[in-house]
Structure 1
Amino acid sequence: MMTDVDPRASVELVLFDVDGVLTDGTLLIGPEGEALKPFNVRDGVAVGLLRQHGIQSGVLSAKASQPLKTRASQLGMDVVKVGFHHKLEAIREIAEETGIAAEAIAFVGDDIIDIPVMNVVAVAYAPADAHPLVLESADHVTEACGGRGVAREVAESLLAARGLSLGEMYAHLLGDPDSLRGVVQ
């Protein structure tokens, strides 16, 4: 009997759209006209979790902003592609620069311009509050809405597809894999 391999298990790179995925889509404008973006700390943990388990991460956004670049740098993201309204072009560049083909990339998007990328990557995710056409294009829809831990949920989904329990995913954060014995997994 032949079994289908879950494409999530072979993902090497996860790319996140920003507004509506890593943020709730709110854009705050300061008194000097600067843009401020509210990021969720849980998603920062997700980037470290992916890295710990050998999966690279990055952002792919149509908008370029200093808060986004700062956050991506703080998290040590591997890929930062901003200012791409035609995101398929960015996917081609990323594949060339990293050597990771679209067939090994997961992408998380929430709006119409994300659909072309969702159609070419190995696995496409959408937050629960994404546009209806994006929800239709997604392989997986998170329970979380944009800016409310979507990246964390995606990271756990990818690692679960590799056969890891929640305890195994997070054991490194406690410094002792045995310290999670008995944790609901």
Structure 2
Amino acid sequence: MSGFTKSITNAAFGLLFCLVSLNATEAGALEPAKSDVVLTVSGAISNTNAGETAEFDRAMLEAIGTVTFETETMWTEGVQTFTGVELSDLLSVLGVNGSQLRASAVNDYAVDIPTEDAVEGGPIVAFLRNGELMSLRDKGPLWIVYPYDSSPKYRTEVIFSRSIWQLDRIEVLP
């Protein structure tokens, strides 16, 4: 497999998940996480499930719809296969009202990512690398990965600096 693939079935299921989640109790409410939370999003968002935040377990991220692409990275050897949710789809589910994302890792390292980076065919919040869950030791549980090999615009120091691993929270800034 090479390049970028997106499953129509996953996209349809993701849309259904969004509609069901938004109508679960009231507009703006997402279903609560049913297992370990891997991502917490706060800030300028319209849709939440834990007070003023949105908490996602891995199944919830998968339900949004998954994307798989192959790319080389400067932190791994050879071509890697990444699977995750497109950042644009995640922001859509959240009803983002901001212009910047402050993405933070387990060790409190943080980077700012403009919401304009979140485009179809752009970065994903990856939870699988080469078909396997990523452990904390192996840059997981989540890693924002751009399709570096798809375009020269994704092979810059600025983009590399936004590729945060061990991601566990995002704050949407106005």
Do the two structures share a fold, i.e. TM-score over 0.5?
Answer: no
**Whose relative contact order is higher, 1 or 2, with alpha carbons under 8 Å and at least 6 apart?**
1
Bucket of the pairwise TM-score, normalised by the shorter protein: under 0.3
Write 1 or 2 for the structure with the bigger share of strand.
Answer: 2
Higher helix share: 1
Choose 1 or 2 for highest CA Rg: 1
